[in-house]
Amino acid sequence: MKVVKFGGSSLATGAQLEKVFDIVTSDMDRKIVVVSAPGKRDQEDEKVTDLLIASGLHAINGEDPLPFINQVLKRYRDIAKDLNMPPTIIETIKQDLMARVEGDHSDPEQYLDVLKASGEDNNAKLVACYFQMRGLAANYVNPKDAGLIVSHEHGNAQVLPEAYMRLALLAEFEGIVIFPGFFGYSQEGEVFTFSRSGSDVTGAILAHAVKADLYENYTDVDAVFSVNPSFVEHPKEIKELTYREMRELSYAGFTVLHEEALIPAIKAGIPVQIKNTNNPEAKGTRIVNARDNTNGPVVGIASAGGFCSIYVSKYLLNREIGFGRKLFSILEQNGISYEHTPSGIDDVTVILREQQMENQNEEEMVKQIESELQADEVNIQHSLALIMVVGEGMRHNVGTMARAANALAQAEVNIEMINQGSSEVSMMFAVKEVDEKRAVKALYNEFFASIPAMTV
């Protein structure tokens, strides 16, 4: 059995939905289909989810949400018209949307989750209707009826362990299951969404639950690339990755797969295949538990901007019991989570996402750290980018760090910070955001330019 998930770009138009139908019916092992909300049709377009969020915010602020709702309805209507589908499906979607938008919004977060979830939910109904129209035994299944129980976390829901036993029954359904991604229900029956692009997570959860042989994730690229294609022309494709490598790359900026989507697959040992809806014959990228490290120490380079750092220096802080706990307690008091904490004998740096500092009084925070920790120096540095060099092979190759540092030096990129994970699967460099692209290109040339094959 295969669970297959299709992203928003794969479902943005009627022509795309026809491709999805052909892919699903070309392999009868594809029994469960997870769908996203319709995505962008071109670069200037808007995603249905973004339109739904805009409508919700307008309603919460006492403004008219209907212009956005009408745009959402038009998106579904255009798809249905392209495929000569019956008007009844659009009426069903309209009634559902209006009931949601006119619902109680005294709890804004709950209201937004209910609206956001409609993108996937109504698209699953439309896809099921189209499959049935084409003569396929396909049924829309609501996550509540299936038992997808999640935690009470708006926009960051986590699947609860007891959900897997209930979802396992999906394997016994006749025909093909069409399942909306991105959301689940609490024990009390309230809607909670995963983080953005969370349909990937739904697919992995269902693959785990039904003990699928493979989880296929269809998107709009032929494979996972070794580096961001907007930074390097024609980067090499990656044939195979380990779960840990993909997790590191997703965290650091590879958007082809949600960073949380691998967790259910890892626990069940289910391989994941990244494929292209527009070119289904391409082999794609396979994500597995272990692979042969035959192509050098590095498999991919990822980067992301929008980080900052808090630097704290104090003589002999390494001998002070409780110093780290006190520092992290201050961050907790200010509602801040951290990403990395490289340290020395007299200093420590906390790296965090820039957006967490938007509503902070930085001067007051610095004074608090200086006062409570008796620190000699505290400063905050903004506009940093993190570059992650990833590869299981680094554990077995001497000099990988030296090669990376030398490549950055040759490109005249100053390294603000270095951190290597204890697993030795990745090493992180912090550089100024203005140097991000140049740094990534230098690292790519160092580790990939000499590899003749088109894939790694």
251: pLDDT confidence band, cut at 50, 70 and 90? Answer: confident
Q: Determine phi and psi for 179, rounding to 5 degrees.
A: -125, 130
Which pLDDT does position 71 carry in this prediction?
Answer: 97
Spatial distance between the Cα atoms of 367 and 18, rounded to a whole number of angstroms: 60
Picking from 220, 239, 266, the residue at the C-terminal end of a domain is: 220
Picking from 220, 251, 284, the residue at the C-terminal end of a domain is: 220
Q: State how many domains the chain has.
A: 2
Coil vs helix vs strand at 385: strand
Q: What's the token pair of residue 167?
A: 């979802």
Half-sphere exposure of residue 115, counting CA atoms within 13 Å on the CB side? Answer: 30
Which pLDDT does position 422 carry in this prediction?
Answer: 61
- Give the burial string for 31-56 (b: 16+ CB within 10 Å, else e): bbbbbbbbbebeeeeebbbbbbbbbb
Can you give the CATH number for the domain in which 32 is found? 3.40.1160.10
Query: Average pLDDT in the 281-297 region?
Result: 83
289: pLDDT confidence band, cut at 50, 70 and 90? Answer: confident
Task: Say if CB 120 and CB 183 are below 8 A apart.
Answer: yes
Contacts of residue 273, Cβ cutoff 8 Å, sequence gap at least 6: 214, 215, 216, 217, 284, 285, 286, 287
Give the range among 75-89, 181-195, 291-305 with minimum mean pLDDT: 291-305
Which pLDDT does position 294 carry in this prediction?
Answer: 63
Asked whether residue 74 falls in the same domain as residue 196, the answer is yes
Asked whether residue 188 falls in the same domain as residue 327, the answer is no
pLDDT in tens, 325-358: 999 999 999 889 888 888 889 999 999 999 888 8
Asked whether residue 215 falls in the same domain as residue 347, the answer is no
The whole-angstrom distance between residue 235's C-alpha and the CA centroid of its chain comes to: 21
Q: Is residue 260 part of a domain?
A: no
Contacts of residue 354, Cβ cutoff 8 Å, sequence gap at least 6: 306, 307, 308, 382, 383
262: pLDDT confidence band, cut at 50, 70 and 90? Answer: confident
Which pLDDT does position 369 carry in this prediction?
Answer: 93
Q: Is residue 117 part of a domain?
A: yes
Can you give the CATH number for the domain in which 308 is found? 3.30.2130.10
Q: What's the token pair of residue 401?
A: 């760090």
Contacts of residue 430, Cβ cutoff 8 Å, sequence gap at least 6: 307, 309, 351, 384, 385, 386, 387, 415, 416, 417, 418, 419
Picking from 220, 242, 268, the residue at the C-terminal end of a domain is: 220
Q: Range of 119's domain?
A: 2-220
Asked whether residue 334 falls in the same domain as residue 210, the answer is no
Through-space distance between the first and last CA atoms of the chain, rounded to whole angstroms? 28
